[in-house]
Structure 1
């Protein structure tokens, strides 16, 4: 009996199983970035400080995906973002500096989806649902959890009430009075 096809099949299964376990745990590199982008439709980015992240008005520094909402303090550090490449879902994590987080508060309800259903990141803690508070000062409503100096925020792309077209943009309210 020729065992060569069985050995080849077993080796192939072993390589695929090893890749399935190892690839998600590898540090970011061109291979894992391509797999996350094309297969899982997710991209991640990390910035040492909030000031290192691109702003909405900058051209050529990156996509608007990596621009932080305006409510993130400018002195925040260790900023991490995970975003869906095919939608508005985002996870954001950062460490507060000297400037406290002045919120989060608004009267909007919880978006229909939870971040865990759309995105996953190793740095995202379990069990934030009961601590989340809505933040509506940008174009998208975020659910924000503060644990000590660590802040975790997610959005599924739910628009903020009265928000503009860009995440982190200013919200303008116009009142009209009759003559």
Structure 2
């Protein structure tokens, strides 16, 4: 009896199973980023400072205008098939301030539907809506660290 086809099939299944478990836990690199972008329809980027991010409004990783220019350690995750975004950054000398959305002004976006290892598990108690961009964002501030997310809903104050 020829066992070679069985050995090849078992090795292939083992390699695919190992890849399925290992890929999500590997550090970011061009290969894992490409696979993750195709499978989950999400992409992520990291900038040392907000000034390093693209400024063109239509760019996939362009930051909202309300993020201070001196913010550092900026991470952004976007859904490639919609308007959902996660943004995390550290405040510099410029505080996070500006107009707030009224509670009745718009439907509150729910919990983010994107996932990232750098995103905290719960932010419910610190959430306040912000409306300073074309999109409605929810923002939570923990010390100097700011977390913001949107499901792509337009801001009620947007032109």
Given the two structures, how large is their TM-score scaled by the length of structure 2?
0.89
What residue is the counterpart of 2:111 in the other structure? Answer: 114
Offset at 1:104? 7.0
Structure 2 regions of 5+ residues with no counterpart? none
Is the 1:109–1:134 Cα contact (8 Å) retained in structure 2?
A: no
The 2-side partners of 1:65 and 1:26 are apart by 24
| 2:134 paired with 1:136 | no
Q: CA RMSD in A?
A: 1.8
What residue is the counterpart of 1:50 in the other structure? Answer: 50
Aligned counterpart in structure 2 of residue 67 of structure 1, from 62, 65, 77: 62
| 2:152 paired with 1:157 | yes
Moved beyond 3 Å, runs of 4+? none
Given the two structures, how large is their TM-score scaled by the length of structure 1?
0.80
| 2:21 paired with 1:21 | yes
Is the 2:100–2:131 Cα contact (8 Å) retained in structure 1?
A: yes
Q: Aligned with 1:66: secondary structure?
A: coil
Q: Aligned with 2:115: secondary structure?
A: coil
The 2-side partners of 1:109 and 1:102 are apart by 21
Is the 1:104–1:134 Cα contact (8 Å) retained in structure 2?
A: no
What residue is the counterpart of 1:170 in the other structure? Answer: none
Structure 1 regions of 5+ residues with no counterpart? 58-62, 165-179
Aligned residues: 156
Offset at 1:5? 3.1
Is the 2:131–2:157 Cα contact (8 Å) retained in structure 1?
A: no
